[in-house]
Amino acid sequence: MTDSNRPPDATQVGRPFDRSRDALILEVTLDLLAERAYDRVTLDDVAARTGKAKTTLYRRWATKDDLVLAAIHSIGLPPEIEQLPDLGSLRSDLLAVVDSPWLGGPDRRLALFSGLTSAARASERIAGAVRAEVTEPYGEIYRRLLTRAIDRGEISAEMAARVPIVADVIPAMSTHYLTAADRPAQRDFFVAVIDDVVLAALQVGRG
């Protein structure tokens, strides 16, 4: 039996599931995804770290995909969706998104995104959740930052037509790197993408 299959007795009626430790279970699932590829994350691992029986986890989440989807939903959206960085220059604001403390800071967040990328390759349901809750929100953040930079005069209004494409460059390059290298990118990679691709394409200095 694999983690993605419901065990034979999972549909049996029992006492109500104790949801008081859901947050811990989902956090442990995210920790495991930050440590290893999706195919190496098991319900046994989650059970061992949380002190829950695997059969108990199956009563709450019928498959490993269901558990990972719940973990993805639990993280919410990047906080920059609600409040854009405002550090005085487009470059500083873009780097602030890269350096955000969200999900434990850039190192842990990028490691988690690496695990989620491997999960997305294995499951279309997870791929859709990652697009909706990670990739697309980041594209929206970058679009809003670039549009604000046009309003401030940092980017020429003539470059406005490039914004929708350029805004997707950072998340797209991150996904490409994770897929090709099978490991999270380092900060220097994102600095290079910002300086040598995004700002260069929009003819913005590095000041």
Residue 185 has, within 13 A of its CA and on its CB side, a CA count of 21
Q: Report the pLDDT value the prediction gives residue 180, as an integer from 0 to 100.
A: 81
Q: Report the pLDDT value the prediction gives residue 177, as an integer from 0 to 100.
A: 87
Taking the model in full, what pTM does it have? 0.84
> How buried is residue 66: exposed, middle or buried, by Cβ count under 10 Å (0-12/13-18/19+)?
middle
Q: Report the pLDDT value the prediction gives residue 147, as an integer from 0 to 100.
A: 97
Structural domains in the chain plus CATH codes = 19-73 (1.10.10.60), 77-201 (1.10.357)
pLDDT digits (tens, 9 = 90+) for 87-113: 999 999 999 999 999 999 999 999 999
Query: For residue 14, what are the contacts with CB-CB under 8 A and spacing of at least 6?
Result: 59
pLDDT digits (tens, 9 = 90+) for 19-71: 768 999 999 999 999 999 999 999 999 999 999 999 999 999 999 999 999 99
pLDDT digits (tens, 9 = 90+) for 144-198: 999 999 999 999 999 999 999 999 999 999 888 888 876 778 899 999 999 999 9
Joined tokens for residue 22: 């859901």
Torsion angles phi and psi, residue 18, rounded to 5? -80, 110
Closest CA to 134 of 174, 107, 165: 174
